[in-house]
């Protein structure tokens, strides 16, 4: 054993073995609460920022969710890609907390907006034009707020921004990337499939509560990750201006969104062919974080998957593939303060 060590030492000294140390990058997660003006009415709106932290691992409880993050922990030194997260109709970003925290551990700042009027506690804008066109404006406002935030602004930059959209958040992400909803497509869809209780509650008519809003893209968005995206209002022409890479996931047993009119159709029509992954046997809610026993009792429809579907395993794969996708599209985090492209 001693002789072997001596030989190895000599080889190192004289260059016979080349050793390249890869510094391990593992961060804990900080959780930062943000407040800024809703662009629709000027009232305060909220967002949660998950970020790499140099502090100790810890967890917090928010709104019934156990989150692997410490509130207002010390932020790690570096420059990190910024990912915006948009939840589904009447949802909460906390339902996607494991994706947000895992991406933060891997060197991303993830800012999850709570959409006013369309979240778990407030449905007042559901089914309105102000919600359709307002949600993207809220994400844009959140990007601007993050770039000016005293805690986060030194560690993020406007040229490294991606977006994660789940369900209706996918629709929001597409609008931000240049897509323009076609309201007539929704009407036609509801004439063909009036029994679609989710999309056609109002027979394909959105409440015209604002006549001053239009779809507004945000050129700062440079990559999209879409999970079970609501996208039936987009045809090939209305997607023509979407020129960012996309990673799309959907379950082939989505019980809320018709696959042939949403994710599958979107994957065929985007100008840049996306990386489209169809999960066998999975439903609409498989993208929500795996539930604990109490959550399974309280919200069984959201927590329980068909037999043979491994939600925990799906999420491990999802987290790894999201990391690779955004690293390629946006550049990797850097301790030097500058991002590095993934060659």
Cα-to-chain-centroid distance, residue 80: 16
321, two tokens? 């593939």
3-state secondary structure of 222: strand
- pLDDT beyond 80 at 17: no
Lowest mean pLDDT among 89-98, 191-200, 247-256, 281-290: 191-200
Lowest mean pLDDT among 14-28, 177-191, 281-295: 14-28
- pLDDT beyond 50 at 4: no
pLDDT tier at 152 (50, 70, 90 boundaries)? Answer: very high
For residue 267, the model assigns a pLDDT of 98
Dihedral sign for Cα atoms in the order 295, 297, 298, 299: positive
Contact 179, 238 (CB under 8 A): yes
Dihedral sign for Cα atoms in the order 79, 328, 73, 85: positive
Of residues 173 and 57, more confidently modeled? 173
| Interval 7-29 mean pLDDT | 46
Q: Using a pLDDT cut of 90, give the percent of the chain over it.
A: 84
Between the alpha carbon of residue 307 and those of residues 32, 115, 229, 280, 293, the distances in Å are 37, 33, 23, 11, 17
- pLDDT beyond 90 at 117: yes
Dihedral sign for Cα atoms in the order 238, 240, 241, 246: positive
Interatomic CA distance for residues 275 and 93, integer angstroms = 24
Give residues with Cβ within 8 angstroms of 192, minimum separation 6: none
Q: Which residue has the tokens 């429809």?
A: 301
For residue 16, the model assigns a pLDDT of 37
Name the residue ranges covered by the structural domains of the chain. Answer: 29-330
Model confidence pTM above 0.75: yes
Find the helix or strand (DSSP H, E) in which 44 lies: strand 44-53
| Partner residues linked to 221 by β-bridges | 161
pLDDT tens for 33-53 read 999 999 999 999 999 999 999
pLDDT tier at 25 (50, 70, 90 boundaries)? Answer: low
3-state secondary structure of 30: strand
- pLDDT beyond 70 at 334: yes
Q: Which residue has the tokens 């996309």?
A: 246
304, two tokens? 């329980």
Interatomic CA distance for residues 46 and 57, integer angstroms = 25
- pLDDT beyond 50 at 337: no
pLDDT tier at 262 (50, 70, 90 boundaries)? Answer: very high
> Measuring CA to CA, which residue among 21, 23, 20, 19 is closest to residue 335?
23
Contact 269, 236 (CB under 8 A): yes
85, two tokens? 């997260």
- pLDDT beyond 70 at 300: yes
Between the alpha carbon of residue 137 and those of residues 143, 157, 176, the distances in Å are 10, 19, 8
**How many Cα atoms occupy the beta-carbon half-sphere of 101 within 13 Å?**
23
- pLDDT beyond 90 at 338: no
Query: Which CATH code, of 3.40.50.1100, 3.40.50.1820, 1.25.40.80, 2.140.10.10, is assigned to 29-330?
Result: 3.40.50.1820
Contact 173, 221 (CB under 8 A): yes
Q: What is the dihedral of CA 307, 313, 314, 319, to 10 degrees?
A: 160
Contact 98, 104 (CB under 8 A): no
Lowest mean pLDDT among 31-40, 55-64, 236-245: 55-64
| Interval 292-313 mean pLDDT | 94
Averaged confidence pLDDT in the chain: 91
**How many Cα atoms occupy the beta-carbon half-sphere of 96 within 13 Å?**
31
Between CA 237 and CA 30, with CA 82 as vertex, the angle to 5 degrees is 140
Of residues 307 and 336, more confidently modeled? 307
């Amino acid at each position: 054993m001693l002789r072997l060590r001596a030989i190895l030492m000599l080889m190192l000294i004289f260059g016979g073995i080349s050793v390249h140390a890869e510094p391990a990058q593992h961060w804990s997660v900080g959780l930062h609460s943000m407040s800024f003006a809703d662009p629709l009415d000027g009232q305060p709106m909220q967002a949660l920022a998950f970020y790499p932290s140099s502090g100790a691992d810890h967890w917090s409880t928010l709104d019934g969710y156990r989150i692997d993050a410490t509130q207002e922990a010390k932020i790690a030194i570096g420059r990190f890609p910024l990912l915006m997260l948009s939840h589904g109709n009447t949802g909460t970003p906390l339902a996607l907390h494991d994706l947000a925290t895992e991406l933060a551990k891997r060197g991303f700042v993830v800012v999850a907006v709570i959409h006013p009027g369309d979240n778990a506690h407030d449905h007042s804008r559901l089914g309105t034009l102000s919600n359709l066109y307002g949600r993207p404006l809220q994400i844009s406002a959140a990007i601007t707020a993050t770039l000016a935030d005293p805690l986060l602004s030194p560690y993020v930059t406007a040229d490294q921004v991606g977006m994660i959209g789940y369900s209706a958040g996918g629709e929001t992400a597409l609008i931000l990337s240049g897509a323009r909803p076609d309201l007539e497509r929704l009407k036609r869809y509801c004439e063909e499939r009036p029994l679609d209780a989710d999309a056609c509650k109002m027979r394909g008519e959105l409440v015209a509560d604002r006549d001053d809003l239009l779809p507004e893209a945000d050129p700062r968005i440079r990559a999209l990750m879409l999970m079970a995206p609501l996208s039936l209002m987009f045809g090939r022409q209305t997607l023509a201006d979407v020129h960012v890479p996309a990673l799309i996931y959907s379950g082939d047993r989505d019980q809320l969104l018709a696959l042939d009119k949403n994710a599958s159709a979107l994957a065929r029509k985007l100008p840049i062919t996306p990386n489209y992954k169809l999960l066998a046997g999975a439903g609409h809610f498989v993208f929500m974080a795996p539930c604990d026993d109490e959550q399974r009792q309280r919200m069984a429809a959201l927590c329980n998957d068909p037999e043979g579907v491994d939600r925990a395993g799906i999420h491990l794969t999802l987290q790894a593939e999201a990391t690779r996708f955004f690293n390629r599209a946006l550049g990797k985090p850097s301790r030097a303060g500058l991002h590095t492209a993934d060659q």
